[in-house]
């Protein structure tokens, strides 16, 4: 089995910064694309940013220039640096990873979610 454990969420004032981390563990051979999605109350889950194993990134237009995704393959960890936060960034943020298991199978996994609240 695979576990994705997120950390770094919390309450921050508009204009502030937070850094989310997500560490993967378990019967992992390799991890392909990793990413972050978010879901605000009453809304569908939406893409925030993704990063391939080689470091190619893709980000939602709403976070371009403010959020930066990165990863440490040796630590099986993905990060999301969030700057210039706005109230509309308030949501539960979910980590995602596409994993190859020791059994040879591949599957997608999600973290449990971490709350980010931007408010004065």
| Coil, strand or helix at 68 | strand
Question: Tens digits of per-residue pLDDT, 31-80?
Answer: 999 999 999 999 999 999 999 999 999 999 999 999 999 999 999 999 99
Q: Percent of the chain, pLDDT > 70?
A: 100
pLDDT of residue 1 exceeding 90: no
Quote the mean pLDDT of the chain: 97
Tell me 119's DSSP state.
Answer: -
């Amino acid at each position: 089995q695979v576990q994705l454990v997120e950390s770094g969420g919390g309450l921050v004032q508009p204009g502030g910064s937070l850094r989310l981390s997500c560490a993967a563990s378990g019967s992992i051979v390799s991890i392909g694309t990793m990413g972050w999605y978010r879901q605000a109350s009453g809304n569908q889950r939406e893409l925030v940013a993704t990063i391939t194993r080689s470091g190619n990134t893709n980000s939602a237009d709403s976070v371009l220039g403010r959020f930066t995704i990165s990863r440490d393959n040796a630590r099986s960890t993905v990060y999301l640096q969030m700057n210039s936060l706005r109230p509309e960034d308030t949501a539960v943020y979910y980590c995602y990873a596409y994993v190859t298991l020791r059994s040879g199978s591949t599957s997608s996994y999600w973290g449990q979610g971490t709350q980010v609240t931007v408010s004065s």
